[in-house]
């Protein structure tokens, strides 16, 4: 069931009392749900609020955040529409749950990282930062956005059969040319998340909390 804010989702308020605590926007991979990354979110930032939507596109029954034509080949028109929908959902959720929209930090895996990348490129106001695990170039916009040092971590695997080293570098370059402050952390493995990803992301996130 899609709720009044537009996405089936979980929201958990921050456990810290102080103001300015960020909200982690958790974006699952293909076949995931809004429950998948809740534990990851707690490991990354135990005190942060959490907003975790379920992707609305179904690929043979598997939830995703946008359509693809084949593996790694995206339906760009759908991606643009879904990116706008997700940005509007974040704004609606911020008003509804009373969190600061500029303090939203995405943490996305695979398909979730790709829509987070698309938010950074098409709706730069939607996120205050992003952790992209196993991300690809989602699309190249006709005009680059203007970020003011939005912090972005790309944590990709050197042996990933789905995302080449070259593609990771193209994504980092695209985001840097858009004004984002990009850190790339290389993991030795493939497409699966490892404890090193989580430790690296936790360290990267610490000064932003
Ligand atoms: C995508 O479709 O976003 C990528 O191929 C990664 C994935 O399999 O979800």
Structure token pair of residue 160: 């990933």
Mutate to test the pocket of ligand 1, among 37, 62, 111, 160 (most ligand atoms within 8 A of CB): 111
* The pLDDT value given to residue 4: 86
- Residue located nearest, by CA, to atom 3 of ligand 1: 111
Our answer to whether residue 191 is catalytic in this structure is yes
Count the neighbouring beta carbons within 10 Å of the beta carbon of residue 162. Answer: 14
Residue 67 Cβ < 6 Å to ligand 1: no
Count the neighbouring beta carbons within 10 Å of the beta carbon of residue 172. Answer: 20
Give CA–CA dist 107/159, Å, rounded: 21
Give CA–CA dist 10/143, Å, rounded: 34
Give CA–CA dist 89/154, Å, rounded: 24
Give CA–CA dist 152/128, Å, rounded: 9
The answer to whether residues 47 and 73 touch, using CB atoms and an 8 Å cutoff, is no
Separation of 105 CA from ligand 1 center, angstroms? 20
* The pLDDT value given to residue 48: 96
Separation of 156 CA from ligand 1 center, angstroms? 13
* The pLDDT value given to residue 2: 60
* The pLDDT value given to residue 16: 79
Active-site residue, selected from the candidate residues 155, 160, 178, 197: 160
Instruction: Single out the residue of 62, 52, 57 nearest to residue 30, CA to CA.
Output: 62
Our answer to whether residue 160 is catalytic in this structure is yes
Active-site residue, selected from the candidate residues 52, 110, 118, 155: 110
The answer to whether residues 198 and 40 touch, using CB atoms and an 8 Å cutoff, is yes
Residues in contact with 8: Cβ distance below 8 Å, sequence separation at least 6, in sequence order: 1, 2, 34, 53, 54
Give CA–CA dist 137/162, Å, rounded: 12
Our answer to whether residue 149 is catalytic in this structure is no
Structure token pair of residue 92: 């609606």
Domains defined for the chain, CATH in brackets: 9-208 (3.40.50.1820)
Give CA–CA dist 209/206, Å, rounded: 6
pLDDT tens, N- to C-terminus, the chain (209 residues): 567 899 999 999 999 777 789 999 999 999 999 999 999 999 999 999 999 999 999 999 999 999 999 988 999 999 999 999 999 999 999 999 999 999 999 999 999 999 999 999 999 999 999 999 999 999 999 999 999 999 999 999 999 999 999 999 999 999 999 999 999 999 999 999 999 999 999 999 999 98
Residue 29 Cβ < 6 Å to ligand 1: yes
Virtual torsion, Cα 35, 36, 39, 41, nearest 10 deg: -90
Residue 114 Cβ < 6 Å to ligand 1: yes
Geometric angle at alpha carbon 200, from 141 and 170, rounded to 5°: 25
């Amino acid at each position: 069931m899609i709720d009044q804010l537009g996405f089936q989702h979980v929201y958990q308020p921050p456990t810290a009392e102080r103001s300015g605590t960020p909200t982690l926007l958790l974006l699952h991979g293909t076949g995931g749900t809004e429950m998948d990354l809740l534990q990851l979110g707690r490991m990354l930032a135990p005190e942060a609020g959490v907003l975790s939507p379920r992707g609305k596109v179904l690929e043979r029954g598997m939830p995703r955040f946008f359509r693809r034509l084949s593996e790694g080949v995206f339906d760009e028109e759908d991606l643009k529409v879904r990116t706008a929908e997700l940005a509007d959902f974040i704004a609606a959720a911020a008003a509804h749950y009373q969190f600061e929209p500029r303090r939203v930090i995405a943490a996305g895996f695979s398909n979730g990282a790709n829509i987070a990348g698309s938010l950074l490129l098409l709706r730069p106001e939607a996120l205050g930062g992003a952790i992209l695990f196993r991300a690809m170039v989602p699309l190249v916009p006709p005009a680059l956005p203007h970020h003011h040092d939005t912090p972005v971590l790309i944590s990709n695997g050197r042996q990933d059969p789905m995302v080449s080293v070259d593609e990771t570098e193209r994504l980092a370059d695209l985001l840097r040319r858009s004004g984002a402050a990009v850190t790339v952390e290389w993991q030795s493995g493939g497409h699966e998340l490892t404890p090193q990803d989580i430790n690296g992301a936790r360290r990267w996130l610490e000064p932003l909390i």
